[in-house]
Amino acid sequence: MLFKLRDASFCLVVALSMMRDSEIHEIRRGAVVQHYNAPAIASTLVKGRSGRPGKHWWITEPVAEAIAVAEALSVRHERVFAPLKRPRSTETVHSSQMIDSFIETVNDDRAWTGLAEIPAGRARPHMFRHAMAMLTDQFPGSEIALGLQLKHVAARALANRSTQAYAAADTRWAELLETALDAVRFRRFKELYGSHKDGEPIGYGPGAERVKDAFDEVTATVQAKNGDSRMEEDLLRKLRITIRFGMLNNCLFDQANPVGAVCLENATVPKGHNGPLEYRCRPDRCRNSMIGVEHVAIHDAHRRTQLKPLETRRLPAPRKDLIRREIERVDAILAQVPEEKA
Ligand code: SF4
């Protein structure tokens, strides 16, 4: 049973942390730390680095939990993923065996777990990293669907690859993921253009106005030159608009002109990080923010959820103040939406 738990923990870490196999085996006890206010694994960068420098990988809660489980199992070892039978052994356990045994367990227990069968075939640690890039590209819809499916795993993985040290050591994987993301973004961008051309609302707020103006220019140019859909697509690709589709808004942060990005105001930017700091996003007052049509209901529901506790008698005053501030923020977001659409 303990083996099964360890193997499951390993598979979760390898699938969701985007760390290399060798790096996972370097994880020592007490490796889960806070790094720039987010959970991270402090471990050793192995590939392409002499002297094995330390490095942080941002992770999600499930990964932190999996490491805590593995740590509890390898009581007498310094390494988190260690042999369970021989307490003082220094040898590392084999990743391939752990993955194979996990797949076997999942398939054997299908009768009571109700899980779908994992098809036969070889699964190895490096494949999970490539799978992330492919999922990014192939999920229907957009990054929003990706976000819903993978929660913020993808965002954390991207943060990992965006540190200079990591990107330099792993340009191929970074490129693969970036290409996949670009493809998803462009598909969604084209969909937005189509909706705008059909006269449908595509979003609200200062960012949305920029997008609409750019779309109108494309339409006007195509009409003036008697162009076709290919020309339209070319012009869309050439637009100087960077858009990140998010769960609560879309962000038009422009790396070449970061002025006005509220998330960067008074922020400590992690070394090597490029782009906005999404976790500090302020869609209520940032000029790069676009509230998509699909976001309105989320903010509306959030407002209603915030109002409820205010009805509670004897709610401490600081808590009330906090809730009121949050409601003010949501009100500022919803104020960007015309009344008939809210
Ligand atoms: S505050 Fe939000 S919308 Fe503005 S740049 Fe930062 S992430 Fe983008």
Q: What is the pLDDT of residue 316?
A: 83
Tokens describing residue 199: 């006269």
Task: Please state, in angstroms and rounded to a whole number, the distance separating the CA atoms of residues 262 and 282.
Answer: 6
Residues facing residue 40 across a β-bridge? 33, 58
Task: Please state, in angstroms and rounded to a whole number, the distance separating the CA atoms of residues 331 and 342.
Answer: 11
* Average pLDDT score over the chain: 80
Amino acid at 116: A
Q: Is 208 in the pocket of ligand 1 (CB under 6 A)?
A: no
Residue 40 phi/psi, 5-degree rounding, is -150, 160
Atom 8 in ligand 1: residue holding the nearest Cα = 251
Q: What ranges in the chain are assigned the alpha helix state H?
A: 2-17, 21-25, 61-73, 95-108, 110-113, 125-138, 143-150, 153-162, 164-169, 171-197, 206-224, 229-238, 293-310, 317-334
Task: Please state, in angstroms and rounded to a whole number, the distance separating the CA atoms of residues 237 and 90.
Answer: 54
Q: Is 80 in the pocket of ligand 1 (CB under 6 A)?
A: no
From 1.10.1750, 3.40.50, 1.10.10, 1.10.443, which CATH number describes the 2-172 domain? 1.10.443
Q: Which of 294, 291, 266, 293 is nearest to 280 (CA)?
A: 266
CA of 292 to the centre of ligand 1 (A): 14
CA of 285 to the centre of ligand 1 (A): 9
More confident residue, 144 or 36: 36
Q: Is 276 in the pocket of ligand 1 (CB under 6 A)?
A: yes
For residue range 276-326, list pLDDT tens digits in order: 888 788 999 999 999 999 999 989 988 888 888 888 778 888 888 888 998
Cβ atoms of 287 and 210 within 8 Å: the answer is: no
CA of 334 to the centre of ligand 1 (A): 17
Q: Is 262 in the pocket of ligand 1 (CB under 6 A)?
A: yes
Cβ atoms of 302 and 268 within 8 Å: the answer is: no
CA separation, residue 263 to residues 164, 254, 258, 285 (Å): 21, 13, 10, 10
- Residue that has been written with the tokens 């030159």 in this structure: 225
End-to-end CA distance of the chain: 53
Q: Is 263 in the pocket of ligand 1 (CB under 6 A)?
A: yes
Q: Is 289 in the pocket of ligand 1 (CB under 6 A)?
A: yes
Q: Is 286 in the pocket of ligand 1 (CB under 6 A)?
A: yes
Q: Using 50, 70 and 90 to split pLDDT, how confident is the model at 20? A: confident
Task: Please state, in angstroms and rounded to a whole number, the distance separating the CA atoms of residues 24 and 13.
Answer: 8
Atom 6 in ligand 1: residue holding the nearest Cα = 263
Q: Give the other-Cβ count within 10 Å of 144's Cβ.
A: 18
Q: What is the pLDDT of residue 236?
A: 93
Q: Which of 254, 244, 111, 115 is nearest to 185 (CA)?
A: 244
Amino acid at 73: L
Tokens describing residue 2: 């303990």
Under DSSP, the state recorded for 79 is B
Q: What is the pLDDT of residue 184?
A: 73
| Mean pLDDT value of segment 236-256 | 88
Instruction: Mention every residue, 6+ apart, whose C-beta is less than 8 A from residue 93.
Output: 6, 81, 82, 83
Task: Please state, in angstroms and rounded to a whole number, the distance separating the CA atoms of residues 73 and 83.
Answer: 10
CA of 279 to the centre of ligand 1 (A): 9
Q: What is the pLDDT of residue 89?
A: 52
Q: What is the pLDDT of residue 37?
A: 59
- Ligand 1 mutation target, pool 251, 273, 280, 336, most atoms within 8 A of CB: 251
Residue spans per domain, the chain: 2-172, 201-342
Q: Is 143 in the pocket of ligand 1 (CB under 6 A)?
A: no
Q: What is the pLDDT of residue 259?
A: 87
Q: What is the pLDDT of residue 141?
A: 40
For residue range 328-340, list pLDDT tens digits in order: 999 999 999 987 6
Tokens describing residue 202: 């595509």
For residue range 37-73, list pLDDT tens digits in order: 567 787 765 544 444 456 677 777 788 889 999 998 8
Q: Is 205 in the pocket of ligand 1 (CB under 6 A)?
A: no
More confident residue, 169 or 262: 262
Task: Please state, in angstroms and rounded to a whole number, the distance separating the CA atoms of residues 167 and 253.
Answer: 21
Instruction: Mention every residue, 6+ apart, whose C-beta is less than 8 A from residue 83.
Output: 77, 89, 91, 93
Tokens describing residue 97: 């065996």
- Ligand 1 mutation target, pool 289, 290, 295, 333, most atoms within 8 A of CB: 289
Q: Is 288 in the pocket of ligand 1 (CB under 6 A)?
A: yes
